Chain A
């Protein structure tokens, strides 16, 4: 798959950056002229991934979140969100709907389920003490010729 365009964004794991990061990705993706629904789905998925970095990976601490977004050929969007936080012990369990490590804090335990249902593919890799990387890919239904000229 050809990479047609790419952006990189590094932000500290401040809760206030949740809104900024999803809006930045949405603005980048907007060049492909996605539908309102597609934009909302991407924003929501990014918001979940970034929130995970803030509340889980860098719980009680502060670290960087590295975000890469790419526009691939065939109207595909690639998004990678990476942290150097605590890592996930059991990825399979973490991906289960309604599973949460912090029910007292009103977490729904739906972060990965939302990413999975709003994006086409979700890949999660993690190492304890090293960090977690989330890769999401989505094919946009609207065909744009923005990069075909």
Chain B
């Protein structure tokens, strides 16, 4: 159950993370490690988080997003948001909006 696979496409300047399965407090800690090792490996200027294949998410997913925003700022030494969120469904969008992060949602891939 809850088999999460994170598929990461590393283009150097840009890293695209295709999230899948269920994101909760338990799985978020596993996913976090995988994304962070990619970020630290190539210090990209943009991180894209694709939620198309995410079947469930709670506020742990928001913690995961906020944590990656901070991690991206750390490796780039900038204050601008360099994280884009894409392919979100209704519930995930509601959560993102509750967290005040709607500005990160991009409709284009």
A residues with a Cβ closer than 8 A to B are 15-16, 18-20, 22-23, 37, 40-41, 43-44, 47-48, 51, 54-55, 97-98, 105-108, 110-111, 113-114, 117-118
Contact = CB atoms under 8 A, between A and B. Distances in A.
B9 interface: no
Given A44-B57, A51-B60, 16 more contacts: A18-B24, A18-B26, A19-B2, A40-B56, A44-B91, A44-B95, A48-B59, A97-B98, A98-B99, A106-B67, A107-B59, A108-B66, A110-B59, A113-B59, A117-B94, A118-B94
A107 B25 CA distance: 9
Nearest to B94: A117
Interface residues of B, number: 24
A107 B91 contact: no
Contacts of B98: 97, 110, 113-114, 117
B32 A44 contact: no
Contacts of A108: 59-60, 62-63, 66, 99
Given A48-B59, A114-B58, A19 B26 contact: yes
Interface of chain A, helix or strand or loop or mixed? Answer: helix
B56 A20 contact: no
A106 B36 CA distance: 13
B59 A37 contact: no
B24 A47 contact: yes
Interface of B: 1-2, 22, 24-26, 28, 32, 56-60, 62-64, 66-67, 90-91, 94-95, 98-99
B58 A15 contact: no
Contacts of B66: 106, 108
Nearest to A17: B26
Contacts of B90: 37, 40
Contacts of B1: 19-20, 23
A97 B99 CA distance: 8
Contacts of B63: 105-108
Contacts of A110: 59, 62, 95, 98-99
Complex A-B, nearest 9 residue pairs according to Cβ-Cβ distance, in ascending order: A108-B62, A106-B67, A106-B63, A110-B59, A15-B26, A47-B58, A108-B63, A40-B91, A51-B25
B15 to A, nearest CB: 19
